[in-house]
Amino acid sequence: MMFQIWLHAVLLFCGLFSNVTGAFVGVNIGTAVTNMPSAPDIVAMLRAHQITHVRLFDADAHMLNALANTGIEVMVSVTNQEVLGIGELPSTAAAWVTKNIAAYVPSTNITAIAVGSEVLTTLPHAAPILVPAMSNLHKALVASNLNYQVKVSTPNSMDVISRSFPPSAATFNASLNSTITQILQFLRSTKSFYMLNAYPYYEYVKSNGIFPLDYALFKPLSPVKQIVDPNTLFHYNSMFDALIDATYNSIADLNFSGIPIVVTETGWPSFGGSIEPDATSANAELYVNNLIRRVSNDSGPPSQPAVPINTYIYELFNEDKRAGPISERNWGLLFTNGTSVYSLALGNSEITGANSSSSFCIARPGADDKSLQDGLSWACGNGQANCAAIQKGQPCFNPDTLQNHASYAYNDYYQKMRGSGGTCDFGGTATITTVDPSKFFLISLEAYCYHPDYFIYQVMKLVRVHLCRVSCWVRK
293 shares its domain with 394: no
Q: Is the separation of the CB atoms in 80 and 122 below 8 Å?
A: yes
191 assigned to some structural domain: yes
68 assigned to some structural domain: yes
pLDDT (tens digit per residue) in 378-423: 888 888 888 888 888 877 888 888 988 988 888 888 877 765 556 7
144 shares its domain with 103: yes
pLDDT (tens digit per residue) in 273-309: 999 999 999 999 999 999 999 999 899 999 999 999 9
Point out the domain boundary residue: 351, 381, 409: 351
197 assigned to some structural domain: yes
Q: Phi first, then psi: what are they for 78, rounded to 5°?
A: -85, 125
389 shares its domain with 424: yes
- CA–CA distance, 150 with 267 (Å, rounded to integer): 25
Catalytic residues, by residue number, are 118, 265
13 assigned to some structural domain: no
345 shares its domain with 367: no
- CA–CA distance, 356 with 350 (Å, rounded to integer): 9
Q: What is the pLDDT of residue 221?
A: 86
Q: What is the pLDDT of residue 448?
A: 41
198 assigned to some structural domain: yes
Tell me which of 5-19, 62-76, 88-102, 191-205 is least confident: 5-19
Residue 282's domain comprises 23-351
Alpha helices, H only, 304-434:
369-380, 402-417
For residue 231, what is the domain's CATH number?
3.20.20.80
162 shares its domain with 302: yes
Q: What is the pLDDT of residue 421?
A: 55
Average confidence score pLDDT of the chain? 84
106 assigned to some structural domain: yes
Tell me which of 114-123, 357-366, 465-474 is least confident: 465-474
8 assigned to some structural domain: no
Residue 231 predicted with pLDDT over 80: yes
341 shares its domain with 408: no
167 shares its domain with 83: yes
pLDDT (tens digit per residue) in 315-358: 999 999 999 999 999 999 999 988 889 887 766 444 444 334 45
400 shares its domain with 450: yes
- CA–CA distance, 134 with 54 (Å, rounded to integer): 20
Query: Using only C-alpha atoms, what is the Rg of the chain?
Result: 24
Q: What is the DSSP letter of 101?
A: I
Residue 432 predicted with pLDDT over 90: no
- CA–CA distance, 358 with 350 (Å, rounded to integer): 7
419 shares its domain with 446: yes
6 assigned to some structural domain: no
Point out the domain boundary residue: 316, 351, 386: 351
Q: What is the residue type of 457? A: Y
Q: What is the pLDDT of residue 48?
A: 87
Mean pLDDT of 6-15: 40
Residue 5 predicted with pLDDT over 60: no
239 shares its domain with 372: no
100 shares its domain with 121: yes
Q: What is the pLDDT of residue 400?
A: 85
User: Which helix H or strand E contains 29, and what residues bound it?
Assistant: strand 25-29
Distance of CA 3 to the CA centre of its chain: 36
Q: What is the pLDDT of residue 437?
A: 59
Mean pLDDT of 83-102: 97
77 shares its domain with 116: yes
Q: How many domains does the chain have?
A: 2
Sign of the torsion angle spanned by Cα atoms 174, 176, 178, 180: negative
Read off the pLDDT band of 430 (50, 70, 90). confident
Residue 214 predicted with pLDDT over 90: yes
Point out the domain boundary residue: 305, 330, 351: 351
Q: What is the pLDDT of residue 239?
A: 97
- CA–CA distance, 464 with 185 (Å, rounded to integer): 60
